Each structure stands twice: as C-alpha cells, then as structure tokens.
Structure 1
Amino acid sequence: MIKLLDRYIFKEILSPFLLGVLLLTFLLLLNQILTLTEWVIDKGISILTVADLFVRMLPSFFLLTIPMAIAFATILAFNRLSFDHELIALSVSGIRVSRVLRPVFMFSVMVVFLTLLMGNLSAHWGTSSLKSTAIRMLKEKIGVGLEAGRFTEIFPGLMIYAESITDATKMDRVFIYDRRSPQHPPHVIVARSGFLMNNVGVVGLELQNGAVYTHNNLTNQRISFASYSLKVRLPLPQSPASVDGKNVQDWEKQQIAVQKKYSLAYASFLFCFLGVPLGMISGKGGRLGPFVAGILLILLYYALYNVGDYFFPPNGGASAMASWVPNMVLTPITILLFIFYTDETAFARILRKCQRGKEG
C-alpha cells in the first residue's frame, strides 16, 4: 500500500510536470523559433547549423521552465487530490498527511538535480560551444550572403564587392570599403583575388595582390601588398583562472550566473512543497483554481526577483544576492503554510470546511 501510494502521487506530479516543461519551453522559444526559421529561409544558414544552435539553447530555457513547471505540477496534483476528496479518504484510512509528502520530497530532490544539470549545461554551452556554433553561422552567412557583382555588407561597416565568386569562398577582383573603426579613417581595399578564412575564433578574408587606399588629413595614402588578412576577431570564452583586472565585470557576471543557477535549483525545491498547501487552498476554486494559484506564484517570484535587482544592482558588490531575494521571502511563507496545512487537526478541519463549501 505504501509503495503503491508513492507511485500514485509521484505519477500525479510527473504528468503535469512534463507537460508544463514542454509547454512553457515552447512558449519561451516561440520567438527564437521564428528567428531561426528566418535564418534558414532568408539568410541561407544550413538547417543542421540552426538545429545545433537550437539544441544548445535549450538548457538555458529549461533552467527557467523547470521551476515554473514543478510549481504548476504540485499545485495541480494536490488540487485534484483535494477536489476529488482523495486526501479525505487517505486520512480516514489512517494514513497521515506527512506520509503523503514522501513522494513529494523524492520528486523535489530529482528536480533540484535536474535544474543544476541544466544550469551547468547552460553555462558550458553558453560560453564555448554556443560561441563556436555562432562563429560557424557567421562564416556560413558570409559564404551564402556574398553574391558576384553586388555590394554586400557582411558586417556593420564592412562592404564587399567581388566580380566573380567560386565555391562560395574564392573571389576574384575584390573591392572592400571598411569603416568599422571610429578611431581610424575609412579605407578602401582592392585586391586581385581573395578567399574566406577558416580559423578558430576568426572570421575574415585573405586577400592577394592588391592595395589599401586611405584618405587622412587631406592626404591620400596607398599601400601595396602581396598578401593581406582582413580579420574580424570574435571573443572566445575565458576560464575563471584567466580573468584579470580588466575583466572584473565579466567575472562578476559569471558569479551572478552561478548564484542564479543555485537559486533556481532551490526555488524548484521550494515550489515542490509550496505547491502542496496552495493546491489544497485552490481546491475551493474548482479546476481553474490551480492555474490561477500557479500564475500568481510565478508572477510573485519574478516580481521579487526584480525587487532584488533594484536593491542589488549588477554593478554593485552584492549583485549576486539579487537572485536569492525571492527565495528569502518565499521560504518563511512556505514553512508557515506547510506547517499549518499539514498539521493533522488543522488539516482535517480545513478539508471539512472545503467540503461544506462545495456542498453549499
């Protein structure tokens, strides 16, 4: 009976949890899906590259949707158990309310580890793999976007014209107008031939047999070259050990991301237990009650998160504490509600009131 009860309540939470993760992730990804589709259709980026980027984006979205999904799942599960009088039946059968909470604790531990896993994957893919995928997309965009006989702005301030293009990489009779740097005057590059570079962390062109023309202080300058590399360097991720004083802000951002990961994992644990009393309370609201309670809980959490950002701004020394403000507020609320609604005497009294309210 006990093992059967564990499986029953576990399944009651698992089904809405999985559905909630899929639905909430889809809603958050909807705008990105439209953007990625536009890249394939309009920009010519390969489907495999876009699919790779899409997969690498998922952990960062799961990190947000898992806590929201577990909040809805536990509220829905205990709302149904309360609404269908199953909790009353268990109480009459001699099963204490605290016994019903064991599968909730098991599920909360599983969700905490899942949230931490998504946080680690998001941190890794968001720095190294995701940037390497972005570099590959830029190279594909250049190769696909260049058209023979037309001026193409492959980067802001960098205009390229090639009379002929072969294999999407090799160009003949190249004209380039470069005005990317505000500290230096614009210059024109003319070359007999060129090809796209394919180095790690670098996107650019390798030009042969040409000249660079610059107009500065009413003087014209011409520099001939046999080989010239036009590079656009992209920042590669740094390990914490390589961060120096010039990158203190980047290091602070990393610390904020770490604290956010742990705070969301704790929020997942908190929502598991907060959903129990909220599900019982929302039972009086019928089938719509848990949805209203879940939405209000999520809105309250992110409102408190914004309050944390206000009191602990990103440029402050304690900015990493901002993500913990909602947890610090909701933890005592959860403890009070949880103790009150799982107390055996109070529990029976509340259920009787709910039952009389439905019959009345």
Structure 2
Amino acid sequence: MSLLDRYLAREILLPFLAGLVFLTQILLATQILAQADVLLGAGVSALDLFRVAADLVPHFLGYVLPIAFLLGAVVGVGRLAEDRELVAVSAAGLSPARLARVPLVLGLAVAALALWLGLGLEPAGLRAARLRVNDLIRKNVTSDVRAGVFYEDLPGVTLYAESTRGGRWQHVLISDRTDPAAPLLALSEGGRLEPAGEGDDLRLVLDRGEVHREELRAEEYVAARYQRATITLGIGAALSDRNRLVGSPFELGPGEIAARARAARDPGEARRWWAFLHRRIAGPLAIVVFGLLAVPIAGSRRGGRAFGYAATLVAVVAYYAVLRLGEGLAQRGVLTVWLGPNLPNVVLALAGAAALLLMERRGAGAVR
C-alpha cells in the first residue's frame, strides 16, 4: 500500500469510526426509551441493561455500518478536496478515479465484517436479547408486588402479600381466574415467582397453605392443604405484548430462513422468505457500492461539507427506496428473488462507475 493509500485510509477510518459509534448510540438509546417501562423498571440493574444493549449491537450495526462507511468515506475524501490535495494529486498525473481503490478495499473489509455479523452474531444476539427482556419483565413483576397492595397486572390473576422482602412474600393470597370454568383460590404462609423452564411462563411457588378450587362444569368444590404447591401462570401473551423484540425475522439464521422458504406451501410466501435471505446478504454488499460512490460525491462537491452530508443522505434514502421497490418486485415474482434485494446495489454501482468514468475523462478538472 502506497503512502497516498495509507493517508487516505486514515482520513476515511477516523470519521467512519466516529459515525459508527454515534449512530449506534442513537439507535440503542431509541430502543431503550421505546421499552423504558421494561428496561428501566424497578427490577433491572445496570448490568442487565448493559447485557441487553450488547446483545442488540450486532443487529443495529447492520443498519449503521453502510451509512457510517459512506459518511466516513465522503468526509475523508472531501477533506482532501477542500484542501486542494486532490487537485495536487491530479496535477501529479494520478487520476482522481485512482483514489476509489482505497474506499473499495476498505469497503470489502467492512462488508465482510457486516456479513459475518448479520448472518452469525445478529440472530444469536437478538434471541439472547429477547430472552433477557422476558427475564426483566419477570423481574419487574416480582419487584412490583408491594406489601399490602393487590397486584392485578398478570392476566386473570390477583395476588396479595402481607409483606415482601428480597422477592419473597409472606401470608399470600392468590386468585387465579385464567380458567373461568375452574377458578382457584390459594392461601399460603410464603411464596415467590420464578421462571417456568425456558418458556415465557412464570411459576408461582407457594409454601404451607391451602387451595380451594371450584369446578363449575361438574358442580364440584375441592379444598386441600399442602406443604408446597406450584402454579404455572401462562403469561406468554403478556410478555409478547411488552417485548418489542418478539417475532423479529432477523432472529433467524440463513439455514432457518431457507428451511421456512422450502416448507412454505404458498409460492408467494416462499418468495418472501427467499427475498428476505438475499436481503440479509445484499445489505453488507451495499458497503462496497457506497465505497464506489464516495470519491465522485466528495471530489465533485461545490458546497463544502454540507454538500457531502446532503449527498450522503440522498444516496442512503435512494438506496432504501430502491430496496423496497426491488423487494416488492421479487415477492410478486417480477424479478428473481436474488435480484430484487440487490437491485439498489446494481443501480448505485452503475451510477458510481459512470461517475468515476466521467471523472477519468475530465482528469484534473473533475475535482473542484
């Protein structure tokens, strides 16, 4: 790598990393605020919040890496254009298009990183984040039970504890109406909530008490005493309503997406899954395309940094607009399932190549 290449790479990497950190922080803060009732609840510690944020980082990087790279490349090359260094390079006989080699090489490296994150770490991270948020909801339920106050936030369940300490309750009353045909009333000296296996349910553990159950259909009434009893509270729907991460298709790895596409009985549904799989691959490839666009945008700008920022925004908006169009055409069968998600990559790559060719023909006059 020549001295010029190393110099340009340094000029690109610094704003790229700064933009990467800044944009990722914004997305994390937005996600945390969107679920503030869960992530900032009474039962959540700083370590819990950090773990959820760390699990979400690979998912957010899939959105941030292309934008941050284009912004970094435009700012880096643009800084050389503002100081007339590109003019000096052109006057020395080096084509302005020659500078595209550095953003392209860096783009390939960043795209490989993004592909690894998107197909490997992102699904695992989202699954872990969803399970952690479910656990935090359970923790908040336990922490929200106050001594001497009826707790009715669990669907079909009313809970009362005379005293609470460290997640354990004394002198507990439970009214379970989840089965309207067989309402249950339980009294116990102590109790606590704990996860019921790896699912979305909670198990209520009661110590030394009695239970009363009325079978309305059989017109029977049952009462019994116990030393220890457990009641599974089916609150999966309640967790799903409060957890925004539930149902995200980005939890699926490439093999799982392909399996769903093969198992789909409707051809339209199969095309949607195949198009989604190719979208997961096309996203990282956009970084290389943005690397191709960086030099024409930065080298021809006349409005200073404002032009570079505006052009970056326009390129990103255009990319996602064409992406939506391509996905829709692929799902309807107009385009092949691989071409639809890659349509913005093809369009912007052709635009970048044409702009570089124009700069090549204009020579030193291409740089303003």
Q: Which runs of 5+ in 2 are unaligned?
A: 237-245
Matched residue, 2:183: 187
Matched residue, 2:364: 348
Q: Secondary structure at the match of 1:123?
A: helix
Q: Which runs of 5+ in 1 are unaligned?
A: 355-360
Q: Secondary structure at the match of 1:76?
A: helix
CA gap of 1:163–1:299, structure 2 versus 1, over 3 A, is same
8 Å Cα contact 2:271/2:330 also seen in 1: no
Equivalent position amino acid for 1:333 in 2: A
Equivalent position amino acid for 1:195 in 2: R
1:254 & 1:156 partners in 2: Cα distance? 34
1:331 & 1:186 partners in 2: Cα distance? 65
Matched residue, 2:324: 306
Structure 1 position 31 matched with structure 2 position 30: yes
Q: Deviations over 1:51-93 (max 9, x none)?
A: 1111111111111011001111122222232232212211222
- Candidates 283, 287, 298, aligned match of 1:268: 287
Q: Deviations over 1:14-61 (max 9, x none)?
A: 111111112222222332233566546543312211111111111111
**Residue 317 of structure 1: CA displacement?**
12
**Residue 215 of structure 1: CA displacement?**
7.0
Matched residue, 2:102: 103
2:292 & 2:232 partners in 1: Cα distance? 58
8 Å Cα contact 1:171/1:195 also seen in 2: no
Matched residue, 1:52: 51
Q: What TM-score do the two structures reach when normalised by structure 1? A: 0.80
Q: Secondary structure at the match of 2:171?
A: strand
Matched residue, 1:279: 298
2:74 & 2:23 partners in 1: Cα distance? 16
Matched residue, 2:352: 334
1:159 & 1:347 partners in 2: Cα distance? 78
**Residue 186 of structure 1: CA displacement?**
7.4
- The 5 A counterparts of 1:14-163 are 14-35=13-34, 39=38, 42-119=41-118, 120-127=120-127, 129-163=128-162
1:214 & 1:302 partners in 2: Cα distance? 58
RMSD (Å), alpha carbons? 3.7
Q: What TM-score do the two structures reach when normalised by structure 2? A: 0.78
Using the aligned pairs only, state the percent identity: 21
Q: Secondary structure at the match of 2:152?
A: strand
CA gap of 1:224–1:24, structure 2 versus 1, over 3 A, is same
Structure 1 position 196 matched with structure 2 position 206: no
Structure 1 position 295 matched with structure 2 position 313: yes
Q: Deviations over 1:256-304 (max 9, x none)?
A: 66433311110111111111112223x2122211011011111112222
8 Å Cα contact 2:43/2:136 also seen in 1: no
CA gap of 1:116–1:222, structure 2 versus 1, over 3 A, is farther
How many residue pairs match? The answer is 343
